[in-house]
Amino acid sequence: MVVGRVQGVGFRYFVVQHAHMLGLHGYVRNDSNGDVEVVAQGTRSKLEQLLTLLQQGPPSAQVHDVQTIWREPTEHVSGFHIRW
């Protein structure tokens, strides 16, 4: 979960762009409380690269925290997309 000023600033599109470049699978979506949820599958090193990017976010975002839970995938997700 990405916490801060992360909705209405292009954060989801930022995540999709970088996840594609890293070859990750998963999705990103806005949470009703103003946070952004990111579920990503890939190698540990690529996921760590994404975490670094999430902590920065796009220029207009203000990320206060990135809450991370590591676990084995429970479903196969193809591609990386925005969920509504």
Q: Catalytic positions, please?
A: 12, 30
Q: Are 70 and 20 in contact (CB under 8 A)?
A: no
- Give the tens place of pLDDT for each residue, 30-47: 999 999 999 999 999 999
Q: In CATH, what is the architecture of 2-82?
A: 2-Layer Sandwich (3.30)
Q: Give the pTM.
A: 0.95
Mean pLDDT, residues 54-66 taken together:
97
